[in-house]
């Protein structure tokens, strides 16, 4: 379903050196996984014998019992299409290998040996096992069946999923086998482990799994041996973790005395396309591998994953100060470099009392603070016109006065009327011409004033407006440095809230945040905003959601719609979301010509629409196939 697969990490209750009892626990967990529509479930290292069986693994009786237990599991999962990855010891060519066997529908699909064997402190695997890191293009006979055997195996459903398997210490190695698996297309990685508990080790373990999922641009599912493995000087906690591209989706509660299972829905389609859109994945060296095609997998009837309706906004409140500091410093230092390099002392900003110009002013003010420049060299210009309300004008003036910047008011009414007369436009005809004349008048004033004062015009337009083309070409579309161009509207609200910590301006910011978003270009009769942007182009929270998924990994419109319906379940119905998504697609394609010549501006997040680096798109591309899909 849209590239989502449900995966699981299982920790079975272990009885040391009793494969039959362990097989019963494993079978119960496989059946539970299947009932939960899990595609693949992974178990701890040496699942059937137990990891701490130690030298008993060199005993014929234990190995024979293990193989009987494996055969018992296979016979009882013939109708189960959930894939299970189980740890076993394999005797081959008079060597013993610590392995993972991949099974589905009663069949063994492949066996992967462990590459790196720990032989230090409490671990001494080289007493029993041989490394399998050089085994490729090999098969072995197990349970009278010829099975692919080697570290060159990947398993695929020929759709979105390709997975690889490594075992415990492999992940701790300088170059984990999962690196090579990922280079060869594995977007899902499994690890069978027996990692004992030490103070703080679980934190390091989770960090290792999480960062490996980021490095490999993959999902990583990890299962470690449980409490039943504990013996002599070692205690095992049964830690299981599921991470996706640098984020831990779920991990279990350690030290459970019972078998337990965690699941997560991972977006493998997104991961595949992220590799095309980001990073240097394509430069990774490929090796000769063997792919094993898996059978039909369970489908997900209902997605069990939260979809963030605000993908640009940090989800944890505790991240707010850190994130906002970072955003403001990126903006401020980008501006500092531009002004210093050009030997410009003054900044010129059009102030409307709206969100965008407020953030541009606050970030510019921060740059001047950092450099100990005189705030009076920030020239803030209010330019009231036909649609300006006293509320927005008052907020703009109060903010400028409190920040101690130079405030200048230039009324554009007369200038606009003269322009109407020059082009023979009826001033009572409130068309796009009526609006754009005012927008270009304001930009002309700012540019000319900057020339007069030796200043730099600071652009205030944000990433959301740039995506929609919600600007007047060569009007507010243009500036000398587009300070907000890397920040979407939903994030701008978030950052402005951060400035409320300054008590002197907190009440002004509150009112700015409560003011409807408007270009204020149409006349009003009662000093109330009559032109609300979101009533015309749609809610910015929806457009930012569309933008993120469309740009981040090239999601299809039908998937964006599906995710938006989940994310905004109680706020917008399907038809509303669909109608605004259509508008987004039309505007995004038809307005590219504005982005093709947009001014410089600091990149803040991973998504930018700058034509010089991040987004290269023909100005005249057709949108028909994208709309048709909806």
Cβ neighbourhood burial of 484 (10 Å; 0-12, 13-18, 19+): buried
What's the chain's length in residues? 630
**Which candidate, 229, 228, 225, places its Cα nearest to that of 195?**
225
Closest CA to 52 of 196, 199, 169: 196
> Distance (Å, rounded) from C-alpha 423 to C-alpha 335?
37
Identify whether the C-beta of residue 80 lies closer than 8 Å to the C-beta of residue 31: yes
Task: With beta carbons less than 8 A apart as the criterion, state whether 122 and 131 touch.
Answer: no
DSSP result, 450-462:
HHHHTEEEEE---
Q: How many helices (H) and strands (E) does the chain have?
A: 20, 22
Q: Is residue 108 helix, strand or coil?
A: strand
DSSP, residue by residue, 461-491: --HHHHHHT-S-TTTTT--SEETTTT--HHH
CB under 8 Å, gap of 24 or more: what pairs does 325-331 form?
A: 327/487, 327/491, 327/495, 327/604, 328/362, 328/363, 328/366, 328/495, 328/498, 329/366, 330/486, 330/602, 330/603, 330/604, 331/363, 331/366, 331/367, 331/483, 331/484, 331/602, 331/604
Which residues on neighbouring strands pair with residue 96, listed in sequence order?
91
Nearest CA to 294 out of 453, 121, 140, 103 is that of 103
Active-site residues: which are they? 45, 114, 168
First to last CA, the chain: 16
d(CA 423, CA 513): 37
- 3-state SS, 154-189, equals EEECCCCCEEEEEECHHHHCCCCHHHHHHHCCCCEE
Q: Tokens 């039908």, residue? A: 558
Q: How far apart are CA 281 and CA 416, in angstroms?
A: 53
């Amino acid at each position: 379903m849209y590239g989502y697969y449900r995966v699981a990490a299982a920790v079975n209750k272990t009885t040391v050196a009793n494969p039959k009892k362990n097989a019963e626990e494993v079978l119960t967990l496989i059946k539970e996984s299947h009932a939960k529509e899990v595609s693949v479930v992974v178990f701890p290292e040496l699942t059937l014998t137990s990891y701490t069986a130690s030298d008993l693994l060199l005993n014929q009786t234990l190995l024979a019992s293990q193989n009987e237990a494996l055969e018992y599991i296979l016979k009882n999962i013939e109708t189960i299409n959930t894939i299970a990855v189980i740890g076993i010891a394999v005797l081959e060519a008079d060597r013993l290998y610590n392995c993972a066997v991949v099974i589905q529908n009663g069949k063994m699909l492949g066996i992967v040996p462990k590459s790196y064997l720990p032989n230090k402190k409490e671990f001494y695997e080289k007493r029993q096992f041989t490394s399998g890191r050089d085994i490729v293009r090999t098969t072995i006979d197990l349970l009278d069946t010829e099975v692919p055997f080697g570290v060159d195996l990947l398993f695929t459903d020929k759709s979105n999923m390709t997975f690889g398997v490594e075992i415990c210490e492999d992940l701790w190695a300088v170059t984990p086998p999962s690196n090579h698996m990922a280079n060869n297309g594995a977007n899902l990685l499994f690890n069978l482990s027996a990692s004992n508990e030490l103070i703080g080790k679980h934190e390091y373990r989770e960090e290792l799994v999480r960062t490996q999922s980021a490095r490999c641009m993959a999902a990583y599912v990890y299962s470690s041996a449980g409490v039943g493995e504990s013996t002599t000087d070692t205690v095992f906690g049964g830690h299981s973790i599921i991470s996706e591209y640098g984020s831990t989706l779920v991990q279990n509660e350690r030290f459970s005395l019972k078998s337990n299972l965690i699941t997560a829905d991972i977006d493998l389609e997104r991961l595949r396309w992220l590799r095309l859109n980001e990073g240097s994945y394509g430069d990774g060296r490929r090796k000769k591998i063997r792919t094993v095609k898996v059978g039909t997998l369970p489908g997900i009837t209902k997605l069990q994953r939260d979809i963030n309706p605000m993908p640009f906004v940090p989800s944890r409140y505790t991240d707010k100060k850190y994130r906002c500091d970072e955003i403001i410093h990126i903006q401020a230092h980008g501006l500092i470099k531009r002004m210093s390099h050009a030997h410009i002392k003054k900044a010129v900003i059009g102030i409307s009392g709206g969100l965008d110009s407020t953030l541009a002013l606050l970030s510019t003010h921060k740059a001047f603070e950092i450099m100990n420049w005189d705030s009076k060299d920030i020239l803030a210009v209010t330019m009231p016109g036909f649609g300006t309300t006293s509320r927005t004008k008052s907020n703009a003036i109060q903010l400028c006065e409190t920040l101690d910047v130079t405030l200048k008011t230039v009324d554009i009414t007369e200038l606009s009327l003269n322009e109407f007369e020059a082009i023979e436009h009826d001033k009572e005809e409130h068309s796009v011409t009526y609006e754009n004349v005012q927008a270009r008048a304001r930009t002309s004033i700012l540019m000319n004033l900057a020339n007069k004062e030796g200043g730099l015009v600071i652009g205030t337009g944000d990433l959301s407006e740039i995506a929609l083309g919600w600007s007047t070409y060569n009007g507010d579309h243009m500036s000398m440095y587009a300070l907000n161009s890397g920040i979407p509207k939903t994030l701008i609200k978030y950052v402005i809230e951060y400035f409320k910590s300054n008590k002197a301006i907190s009440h002004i910011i509150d009112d700015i945040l409560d003011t409807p978003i408007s270009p204020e270009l149409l006349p009003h009769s009662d000093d109330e905003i009559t032109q609300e942007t979101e009533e015309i182009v749609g809610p910015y929270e929806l457009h930012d959601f569309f933008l993120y998924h469309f740009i981040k990994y090239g999601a299809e419109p039908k998937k964006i719609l599906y995710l938006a319906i989940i994310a905004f379940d109680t706020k917008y119905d399907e038809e509303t979301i669909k109608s605004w998504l259509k508008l987004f697609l039309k505007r995004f394609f038809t307005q590219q010509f504005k982005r093709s010549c947009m001014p410089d501006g600091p990149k803040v997040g991973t998504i930018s629409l700058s034509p010089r680096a991040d987004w290269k798109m023909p100005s005249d591309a057709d949108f028909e196939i994208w709309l048709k899909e909806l």
